C-alpha cells in the first residue's frame, strides 16, 4: 500500500509555477488521503485558474500514478502569503548576475537605426540558444520601442511575490520588458535618468535564477539607455545588426564604435533582410548587397549571419509573431547563429 512519504517523494520534483520552488519545499501539499489505490490530494498554488495550473495538475497526476496510484483526486487552494514568502528569495538575483563572480554571459544586440530587425534577431537568437539546452534570459531594454512580448507571443505578466518579480517564461526563455508595465500600448514619456533606473530594476528586483546567457535588446543608436548598459555591463559582448544597404551599415558603424570605445567585445555583424529566396532557389537582393561585409570590415570583426526575408511558419494556435521554427530556412540559420555564439563565448565553469 502507498504511504504518504512515497507520495511526497513523488511530488518533490514538481515546482510551484510562480515561485519556481518545489511544491514540497514551499508547503503547497496541504492534504494527502490514501484509500487503497485511490489518492486524494489538496494542493495550494499562488495563482489559480491559469494555464500553469493545468500543467501542474497533469504533472501531479502523472507523478502520483507513477508511484503506484490507480486513481488520483485533486483539489486546489490558494497558497498563503506565508508559504509564498517561504518559497521566495529575499531579493532578486540581478545583483548576483552583475557581480564579478557571475557566470552569466551578457550579449547586447544593437543597431545604428530602427527598423533593421534588431528585436527579431534578439528573440530568435535567444530561443535558438534555449533549444541548444542553454539557460537564457532576455531584457527588452528598448524602453521606448519595446516589442519583445508581442514578438514572442507573451500575453501574461510577471508574477510578484513579496518584493520579488519573476520574469515571464516563453519558449524556454525568461523575459522582462517595459511592455509588461504599460497599459494599452501607451507611449513611454520619460527622461534619461528614469529610463536608467527602470533598466537597473530589471536586474536588481527580478529573480532570474541561474542563466548561461542574458540577451539585451538595446534601443537603436547611442543614446542614454545604450550608454547606461555599457556602464552597467563592462564585460558585455555585442552583436551589431544591419541591412545590406550601405546607409544602414554606415549608421550601424556608430553603434559598433561606441562598443569598442567602452571596451565591449563585438562578436560579429548580423545582416538582416539580406535577400529574398525565390522558389527556384535564386536570391533577389532587394535591399542591395555588401552592407554587412563592409560593416564587419570597418569594425574589424566578422559577418556571422545573413538572414533572408521571410515570414515565420505559423503553427496551430501559435501567437508568436516573429519566431522562426527549427527545420525552416530562417529557423535553421538562427540555429547556426546560436552555435557560432556558443563557440565564440564559452560559458565559464562553476
Tell me the per-residue pLDDT of 46-101, one tens digit each, with 9 for 90 and over: 888 777 788 888 899 999 999 999 999 989 888 875 545 554 444 555 556 777 77
The pLDDT, as a whole number, for residue 173 is 92
What is the full DSSP assignment across 117-165?
A: SHHHHHHHHHHHHHHTT--EEEEE--SSS--HHHHTT--S--EEETTEE
**Where residue 248 sits, what CATH number does that domain have?**
3.40.50.300
- Indicate the residue among 71, 87, 103 that finishes a domain: 87
The pLDDT, as a whole number, for residue 317 is 47
Classify residue 349: in a domain, yes or no. Answer: no
**Where residue 81 sits, what CATH number does that domain have?**
3.30.300.130
What is the full DSSP assignment across 305-316?
A: EEE---PPPPPT
Report the distance separating Cα 255 and Cα 246, nearest Å: 15
- The answer to whether 175 touches 160, Cβ cutoff 8 Å, is no
If one counts the domains in the chain, the total is 2
- The answer to whether 275 touches 144, Cβ cutoff 8 Å, is no
157 and 262 within one domain: yes
156 and 55 within one domain: no
Question: In the numeric block, which cell numbers belong to residue 104?
Answer: 552569466
Question: How big is the chain, counted in residues?
Answer: 350
331 and 311 within one domain: yes
Classify residue 18: in a domain, yes or no. Answer: yes
pTM of this prediction?
0.70
Classify residue 165: in a domain, yes or no. Answer: yes
Q: DSSP class of residue 80? A: P
Domain hosting residue 28, numbered range? 4-87
177 and 68 within one domain: no
Classify residue 247: in a domain, yes or no. Answer: yes
157 and 79 within one domain: no
81 and 66 within one domain: yes
- Report how many helices (DSSP H) and strands (DSSP E) the chain contains, helices first: 11, 17
CA distances from 70 to 46, 73, 128, 166, 191 (A): 28, 10, 40, 36, 61
The pLDDT, as a whole number, for residue 183 is 59
The pLDDT, as a whole number, for residue 110 is 87
281 and 146 within one domain: yes
Tell me the per-residue pLDDT of 302-341, one tens digit each, with 9 for 90 and over: 999 999 999 887 664 466 678 999 889 999 999 999 999 9
Question: In the numeric block, which cell numbers belong to residue 326?
Answer: 527549427
* Pairing status of strand 105-111 against strand 213-217: parallel
Report residues of the chain scoring pLDDT below 50: 83, 87-90, 189-190, 316-317
Q: Which residues contact 192 (CB under 8 A, 6 or more apart)?
A: 223, 224, 225
Residue 260 CB: number of other CB atoms within 10 A? 14
Classify residue 328: in a domain, yes or no. Answer: yes
51 and 141 within one domain: no
99 and 80 within one domain: no
145 and 20 within one domain: no
* Pairing status of strand 213-217 against strand 276-277: unpaired
Classify residue 350: in a domain, yes or no. Answer: no
Classify residue 220: in a domain, yes or no. Answer: yes
48 and 118 within one domain: no
Classify residue 164: in a domain, yes or no. Answer: yes
- Indicate the residue among 68, 87, 106 that finishes a domain: 87
200 and 53 within one domain: no
The pLDDT, as a whole number, for residue 320 is 63
Grid cell 520552488 in the structure block, residue:
21
- Indicate the residue among 87, 108, 142 that finishes a domain: 87
Residue 321 CB: number of other CB atoms within 10 A? 15
Amino acid at each position: 500500500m502507498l504511504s504518504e512519504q512515497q507520495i511526497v517523494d513523488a511530488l518533490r520534483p514538481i515546482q510551484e509555477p510562480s515561485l519556481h520552488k518545489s511544491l514540497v519545499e514551499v508547503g503547497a501539499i496541504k492534504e494527502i488521503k490514501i484509500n487503497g489505490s485511490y489518492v486524494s490530494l489538496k494542493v495550494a498554488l499562488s495563482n489559480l485558474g491559469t494555464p500553469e495550473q493545468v500543467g501542474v495538475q497533469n504533472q501531479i497526476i502523472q507523478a502520483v500514478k507513477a508511484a503506484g496510484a490507480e486513481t488520483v483526486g485533486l483539489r486546489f487552494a490558494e497558497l498563503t502569503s506565508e508559504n509564498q514568502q517561504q518559497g521566495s528569495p529575499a531579493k532578486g538575483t540581478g545583483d548576483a548576475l552583475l557581480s564579478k563572480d557571475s557566470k552569466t554571459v551578457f550579449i547586447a544586440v544593437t543597431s545604428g537605426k530602427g527598423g533593421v530587425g534588431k528585436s527579431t534577431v534578439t528573440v530568435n537568437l535567444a530561443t535558438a540558444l534555449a533549444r541548444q539546452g542553454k539557460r537564457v534570459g532576455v531584457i527588452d531594454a528598448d524602453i521606448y520601442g519595446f516589442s519583445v512580448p508581442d514578438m514572442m507571443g507573451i500575453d501574461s505578466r510577471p508574477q510578484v511575490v513579496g518584493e520579488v518579480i519573476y520574469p515571464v517564461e516563453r519558449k524556454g526563455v525568461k523575459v522582462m520588458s517595459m511592455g509588461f508595465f504599460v497599459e494599452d500600448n501607451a507611449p513611454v514619456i520619460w527622461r534619461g535618468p528614469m529610463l536608467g533606473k527602470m533598466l537597473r530594476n530589471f536586474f536588481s528586483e527580478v529573480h532570474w535564477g541561474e542563466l548561461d546567457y542574458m540577451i539585451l535588446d538595446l534601443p537603436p543608436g547611442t543614446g542614454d539607455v545604450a550608454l547606461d548598459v555599457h556602464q552597467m555591463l563592462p564585460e558585455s559582448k555585442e552583436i551589431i545588426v544591419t541591412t545590406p544597404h550601405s546607409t544602414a551599415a554606415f549608421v550601424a558603424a556608430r553603434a559598433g564604435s561606441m562598443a569598442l570605445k567602452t571596451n565591449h567585445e563585438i562578436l560579429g555583424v548580423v545582416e538582416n533582410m539580406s535577400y529574398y529566396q525565390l522558389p527556384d532557389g535564386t536570391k533577389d537582393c532587394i535591399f542591395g548587397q555588401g552592407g554587412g561585409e563592409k560593416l564587419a570590415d570597418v569594425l574589424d570583426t566578422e559577418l556571422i549571419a545573413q538572414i533572408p526575408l521571410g515570414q515565420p511558419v505559423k503553427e496551430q494556435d501559435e501567437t508568436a509573431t516573429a519566431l522562426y521554427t527549427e527545420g525552416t530556412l530562417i529557423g535553421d540559420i538562427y540555429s547556426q547563429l546560436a552555435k557560432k555564439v556558443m563557440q565564440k563565448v564559452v560559458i565559464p565553469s562553476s
